[in-house]
Amino acid sequence: MKEVLTLAVQKRQTVGTRASRRERAEGRVPAIIYGHKQDPQPVTVAHDALDAALRHHTRMLDLKLGRSTERVLLSDVQYGTFGTEVIHADFVRVAMDEVIRVDVPVVLHGHAAGEQHGGVTEQLLTEVAVECLPGDIPEEIRVVITALELGQSLHVGDLEAPEGVKVISDPSHLVLTIAAPTKAIEPEAEVAPEAAEAEPELIARGAEEPEGGEAKTEDEDAKG
Per-residue three-class SS string for 24-87: HHCCEEEEEEEECCEEEEEEEEEHHHHHHHHHCCCCEEEEEECCEEEEEEEEEEEECCCCCCEE
- Give residue 14's pLDDT: 86
The predicted model scores a pTM of 0.71
Residue stretches of the chain with pLDDT short of 50: 195-196, 198-207, 209-218, 221-224
- Give residue 134's pLDDT: 93
Residue 20: what residue type? S
| b/e 154-179 (16+ beta carbons within 10 angstroms → b) | bebeebebeeebebebeeeeebbbbe
3-state SS of the chain: helix, strand, coil percent to 5? 20, 40, 45
- Is residue 145 within 8 A of residue 111, CB to CB? The reply is yes
* DSSP β-bridge partners for residue 76: 90
- Give residue 204's pLDDT: 47
- Give residue 222's pLDDT: 45
- Give residue 192's pLDDT: 55
- Give residue 78's pLDDT: 95
The tens digit of pLDDT for each residue in 1-58 reads 568 899 999 999 888 889 999 999 999 999 999 998 899 999 999 999 999 999 988 8
